[in-house]
Structure 1
Amino acid sequence: MRNIVHSSGQEDPVRIKLIAADPESAPTNSPTLYKTDRGSWIVQGWVVTDPEVLAEMGIPVGETCVEIPDRMVPFFAEGD
């Protein structure tokens, strides 16, 4: 059991299941996809730091985004 802290500061317990680690990204196998027990996904990936991209996306305080390659998208279906 893990806790996820939301931007509101609230911690919610969540169980995660590893779905896929990128086999083309040795030795760290990142990006990585996880399915949660509450119908959501956690994506481990490359931090997006480009200020123009972040401004265009309107990422609020307390949230972030990560970038994953196209080759990881088919693994989303494995979590169902």
Structure 2
Amino acid sequence: MKLRFLGKNSTPGDSPTLYASDRDTYVIQGWKVYANDLLMQLDVPAGQTVIEVPTELFEHLTKDGHENGEIKQFTDPIMILTEQGTCVLQGPEMHDAEALSQMRMPDYETCIEVPKSSIAALLEETSGPDHQR
């Protein structure tokens, strides 16, 4: 899998990063979630993992042809919006050796791979009830 870097939200020691892949997916690198209070709210199937990223990370979607990167729906793969303004995402943990070799990832981070369509859907306005979890 080949990755195209879209952007990162970085402070010293932290590096949530967004990539577009050649498989019509996004690879989202974020902090591993260990907090029991968050994990207890989720049903995480085998092969999936949970990460946390700043909501601002999605602003980099403009570099992949989206008009803006403002999240308007908080639905799968976003599972929780925290009080700190971060998103908790759940998805298949990425193990592709070629892709991982293109990334710099500290031990306390991991990445998930999600279809571009599921991320694009988060950018669309909805009418009706509030979808925040």
TM-score computed with the length of structure 2 as normaliser: 0.43
> What is the identity, as a one-letter code, of the residue corresponding to 1:43?
I
Query: Following the alignment from structure 2 to structure 1, what is the Cα–Cα distance between the partners of residues 23 and 35?
Result: 31
| Contact persistence 1:19–1:79 (CA under 8 A) | yes
Give 4+ residue runs of structure 1 displaced > 4 Å after superposition.
none
1:19-49 per-position Cα deviation (integer Å, ceiling 9, x unaligned): 10224x13x5610101111111111111111
How many residues in Structure 1 have an aligned counterpart in Structure 2? 65
- Which residue is 2:7 aligned to? 20
Does residue 1:32 correspond to 2:17, yes or no? yes
Moved more, 36-45 or 48-57: 48-57
- Which residue is 1:46 aligned to? 31
- Which residue is 1:69 aligned to? 54
Structure 1 gaps of 5+ residues are 1-13
Structure 2 gaps of 5+ residues are 66-133
Query: Following the alignment from structure 1 to structure 2, what is the Cα–Cα distance between the partners of residues 29 and 22?
Result: 8
> What is the identity, as a one-letter code, of the residue corresponding to 1:72?
L
| Contact persistence 2:9–2:54 (CA under 8 A) | no
- Which residue is 1:8 aligned to? none
How many angstroms does 1:51 deviate by? 2.4
